[in-house]
Amino acid sequence: MRRVLPWASVAILVLAVLLAGVLHPVRPASVRSDALGPDSGELVADYLTRAAESLDDPVDPDAPRWALVSFTAPLDVGAVADLTAELGAEMRVAQVLFRVPIDRVQTPLVTVAVPQNPEALRRAPAVAVGRLQIPASGNDRAARVASASAHRLAEGCACVVGLVVRATGAQLHTLESAPAVRAVEALPTDAVAGRFAVSPLLPEQVEVVAPGPDDGEP
């Protein structure tokens, strides 16, 4: 009997641990890995299909969701303001994504968070200019590219390549049908602000999502 008791004790302990796990399951970690935008190397046609399919939430189609809007061609902030104003004040523009188009030059993507008011949206290019004018620690080419991008943004260029918005399913479908919009991709309703990556589908990406040439002069 003395040899049986230790094994019985171990069996009882294991059973107690398993029972505790069933009654008190470990909560999932709060860190999210959500992302908006195409994957590197993804076929553009595949991403467009995936983005369109993301707009329909079978659980609650009317619930507001975070979404990425990518444009067919870069817009200026005035055009963006007109486009979003048509959807009503309840739709929120949270981020404006700027990228200055320069032939055969890889220019930086600048993301500017904006409060919920039209004036903040119109001031977003000036914020982007300020970020590009921060002295670069990279090579001379990187500094020239940043300087050229800042100059064009200051002139009011059409350089908005995407938006992050919070809107209902109906509003997102309306956005998707706009001529200036190339794709709208939505996250699930439980996605948390600030816990998802964003990378827009760029207008020049036609077949495959990949960097373009970078041998031109800024």
- Identify the pLDDT of residue 139: 66
Structure pTM?
0.82
What would the two tokens of residue 156 be? 């009011």
Tokens 């002295």, located at residue:
135
Q: In what order do the strands lie in the sheet with 181-186?
A: 110-113, 92-98, 160-167, 65-75, 181-186
Closest CA to 111 of 164, 151, 59, 58: 164
pLDDT of res. 34: 85
**Which residues in the chain land under pLDDT 50?**
1-5, 7-32
